[in-house]
Amino acid sequence: MIEIHFDEASEAEKLVGLLYHRQPDDGPLFHAAYDGNKTVAVYIQGEEKRVLEEHIIPAMTAFMQEVMEERLLLSIIANVFYFRDVEEQQQILALAHSFLDGERRDYRKSAAFAASRTVMLRDAFASFLRDGLSFSFSSFVTFRLKPYMERLQHYVELAIDEYKLEQEYQNFVQMLRDCLAGRTPQWPRLYLVHDPPHFVFYDSERRELSAAEVRQLIDRHLVFSQPMYIDASVLAPLVSLAPAEIELYTDHPDDGMVQTLQNVFQERLIVCRRADFSRLFAANAGNGGEA
């Protein structure tokens, strides 16, 4: 028998459910008993090594990842990094999951993290579990899963870095919106063509502006009075002019600067396909330059 003591009755109940889910169809090899409180007893009826490797260890590994991992992440966020606001915790947790799930590149990944979390957990259980054992699950996590907990903390750190960057970005966007709201539009319309990584400006008459002309559009007071750096090639001239309408032609709507322009200018910005500008330019030329 393996006897496992939990801090929460709900944890014990969920482990029993996962164990029974992995019980083989051709007959019981083990029996899991839940006392209705905080203890799970697993009675091994088949050959011990096989039952542990094929059924109990996979169930315990799934329990860690499906039930305990999120609780552990939240504990690290709150008790190691002292984020106590529930909304902040949830945002950091979502970012941590995106790193864990491989959605975001781990820019600090090292060779020490070559093994997956699943392998780490399976190895820890395999080296520990045996018939006749009685243990506290929380003590097992504390003393036997240190590398795994270090892995979780690493991803929480990445998530917090990303969270702070996103907060800074939102503050930056709001600052530019506030600047824009207080300015009178200098042009009724501006055309912007995206040729990565560059943005080409065209005035209301669809005349291309040189880089020098674009720089001359910048309100230097606006730039120097702001606490954050404003990109001088695109954002600074656009906010300085505060056009009533911007037509942006791009084949890369997910580009970072394109996304920022949409966030700052909102309803003033119209996003079109890059080919549409060529047709517009040709039509304008055919009409003798009339808008």
- Does residue 138 share a domain with residue 22? yes
Assess whether pLDDT exceeds 70 at residue 284: no
The mean pLDDT value of the chain amounts to 90
Assess whether pLDDT exceeds 50 at residue 291: no
Q: Strand pairing partners for 134?
A: 3
- Does residue 114 share a domain with residue 28? yes
- Does residue 5 share a domain with residue 50? yes
Higher pLDDT, 25 or 103: 25
Check whether the bond before 197 is cis (ω within 30° of 0).
Answer: yes
- Does residue 168 share a domain with residue 187? no
Q: Strand pairing partners for 201?
A: 192
Q: In this predicted structure, what is the pLDDT of residue 37?
A: 85
Q: In this predicted structure, what is the pLDDT of residue 111?
A: 45
Are the beta carbons of 51 and 6 closer than 8 angstroms?
Answer: no
Q: Which of 135, 157, 175 is the last residue of a domain?
A: 175
Neighbours of 194 (CB within 10 A): 22
- Does residue 162 share a domain with residue 190? no
In a domain? residue 291: no
In whole angstroms, give the CA distance from residue 94 to residue 92: 5
Enter the tokens of residue 75: 């504990």
Q: Which range marks the domain in which residue 253 is found?
A: 182-283
Give residue 28's pLDDT band: very low, low, confident or very high (50, 70, 90). confident
Rounded mean pLDDT, 39-61: 92
Smallest CA-to-CA distance from 96 within 161, 150, 147 is with 161
- Does residue 166 share a domain with residue 256? no
- Does residue 197 share a domain with residue 114? no
Could you give the number of structural domains in the chain? 2
Check whether the bond before 24 is cis (ω within 30° of 0).
Answer: no
Place of tokens 């002309």: 213
Q: In what order do the strands lie in the sheet with 134-136?
A: 30-34, 39-44, 2-5, 134-136
